[in-house]
Structure 1
Amino acid sequence: MRDLAPPCIDVEAHQLSKRFGSNEIFSDVSFRLLRGEAVALVGANGTGKSTLLRCMMGLIPAASGKVVVLGQDASSTSSRELRALRARMGLVSQKHNLVPRLSVLSNVIQGLLGRHPGIRHWSHRSAPAASREAAMEALGKVGLAEFALRRADRLSGGQSQRVAIARAIVGKPEILIADEPCASLDPAAGEDIMKLFFDLARQDGVTVVFTSHHIDHALRYGDRILGLVDHRLKLDARASELNAADLRGLYD
């Protein structure tokens, strides 16, 4: 029997620490994320979940340790290499961060700026045909193709988050990061967004990392769960081995 190939590691954090001044955010955090895995990052407010995601993307430097993303050390790479690395990742944040006065289509096209910097990708009117087609495909996946020319400030909260997801996936990222993607949505819309987000991720075999205060979301949509408590990573386990009581303990 032929040996199976080892799983591909998309993200590997080594003893990662971060502080702002004398305020320790987290320390000695180590973990690996496998290709195609969905990982929930949970913990109480102030435990550093969003900061950890930003360090992982190279948006802010770690105080010590390193993080290797898609085979590159994001802790010690050049600005140009870091921009190219971020272009291979998609981000959906708590705030939708759409440009209100621009069309839905233009907002989605701006998701390609990491791969194609420059003024042409600020608006659908100036974008190349291939970019417009990619944006329309992404809008079709989130069910909003018919809203392409509507101004972003005329959307509902759930629609805005769908546009944010389309913007995150338009460049066909290898890693999708979602920081509290349902924080500003009502429960029904939040459930729709989580299902949509993970259906899209599964279809494309993308590695997913998401933060959430919804215990049921973490258990239902995560393959693995990482838990931050008291500035340390106190939990790294398969979701199938945990229950709601296990996660509630992280918030005590």
Structure 2
Amino acid sequence: MFAPVLPVDIEARAISKTFGAVPILTNVSFRLARGEATALVGANGTGKSTLLRCLMGLIPTSDGSVHLLGQQTNKATVQEMRKVRAQVGLVSQKHNLVPRLSVLSNVVHGLLGKHPGLRHWSHALAPRASREAAMRALERVGLADFAHRRADRLSGGQSQRVAIARAIVGAPKVLFADEPCASLDPSAGEDVMELFFRLVRDENVTVVFTSHNIEHALKYGDRVLGLAQGRVQLDATAASLKPADLRGLYD
């Protein structure tokens, strides 16, 4: 029997990005299939975060094109991009929670892409279905009991769990994670990565994450893209690589 052909959720076609006269990315191409977890690795300044922002459609490419969930981002209308972004989640190293609001309200914010407006700014205003979805997301990250605690009273690991709940509450098809454990101690970081990937694999979500942690890239990625001098210098399955294969990217 033939293996099923999975949909391609993200495709970079010969993309380049410059800021002024400075080239950041040059002729970057790859395709990421539905449910695949891809680690972007490389030294500081190699363009990982810039590439992530291009893939999300947050900044335009200077050349080439990005296709996200079937939509060519540089040719999409505002309405079309809003529809695409409603199917995309983001977890970053900065938790970006609203400190004075409750944990539950912060998770409800994850539905603003699908339901823009004041009703999803606070759990007190949100429709019942949205509050219930936010509570289910908190249950999945083990923080249902913290729903009415202010966000500024959480530990770093708890804050990142809330950020994950916010990212998954809208059942996204694609999740981007930019150094999701960089601000956490090693133990909390490992817990967060285990939780994050257990959740996304349960839902067959496509994931792209950046990391300086070689062990995390090989453990949690199905595939590894290594950047150096703004180009893809490595594209291989994680199972075929050893830590030594990645260390050269940091020289």
TM-score bracket, normalised by the shorter chain, equals over 0.9
Q: Which residue of 2 aligns with 1:125?
A: 124
Using the alignment, how far apart are the partners of 2:194 and 2:95 within structure 1?
18
Q: Which residue of 2 aligns with 1:210?
A: 209
Which one-letter code corresponds to 1:181 in the other structure? P
The answer for unaligned runs of 5 or more in structure 1 is none
Using the alignment, how far apart are the partners of 1:182 and 1:6 within structure 2?
33
Q: Deviation at 1:195?
A: 0.3
The answer for unaligned runs of 5 or more in structure 2 is none
Provide Cα deviations, 1:195-249, integer angstroms capped at 9, x if missing partner. Answer: 0000001100101110000000000000000010011111110011110000000
Is residue 2:103 matched to residue 1:104?
Answer: yes
Which one-letter code corresponds to 1:196 in the other structure? L
For residue 125 of structure 2, give the secondary structure of its aligned residue in structure 1: coil
Using the alignment, how far apart are the partners of 2:29 and 2:54 within structure 1?
13
For residue 220 of structure 1, give the secondary structure of its aligned residue in structure 2: helix
- Equivalent pairs: percent with the same residue? 69
Using the alignment, how far apart are the partners of 1:130 and 1:224 within structure 2?
36
Provide Cα deviations, 1:105-153, integer angstroms capped at 9, x if missing partner. Answer: 0000000000000000000000000000000000000000000000000
Using structure 2 for the length normalisation, give the TM-score: 0.98
The number of aligned residues is 251
Q: Deviation at 1:164?
A: 0.3
For residue 33 of structure 1, give the secondary structure of its aligned residue in structure 2: strand
Using the alignment, how far apart are the partners of 2:191 and 2:5 within structure 1?
34
Q: Deviation at 1:5?
A: 3.6
Provide Cα deviations, 1:63-103, integer angstroms capped at 9, x if missing partner. Answer: 01001111111121011111111110110011100000000
Using the alignment, how far apart are the partners of 2:4 and 2:109 within structure 1?
37
Using the alignment, how far apart are the partners of 1:95 and 1:107 within structure 2?
14
For residue 224 of structure 2, give the secondary structure of its aligned residue in structure 1: strand
Q: Which residue of 2 aligns with 1:113?
A: 112
Which one-letter code corresponds to 1:204 in the other structure? E
Q: What is the root-mean-square deviation in Å for CA atoms of aligned residues? A: 0.8
For residue 75 of structure 1, give the secondary structure of its aligned residue in structure 2: helix
Using structure 1 for the length normalisation, give the TM-score: 0.98
Q: Which residue of 1 aligns with 2:80?
A: 81
Q: Which residue of 2 aligns with 1:235?
A: 234
Q: Which residue of 1 aligns with 2:218?
A: 219
Q: Which residue of 2 aligns with 1:25?
A: 24
Which one-letter code corresponds to 2:130 in the other structure? S
Is residue 2:146 matched to residue 1:147?
Answer: yes
Using the alignment, how far apart are the partners of 1:82 and 1:251 within structure 2?
35
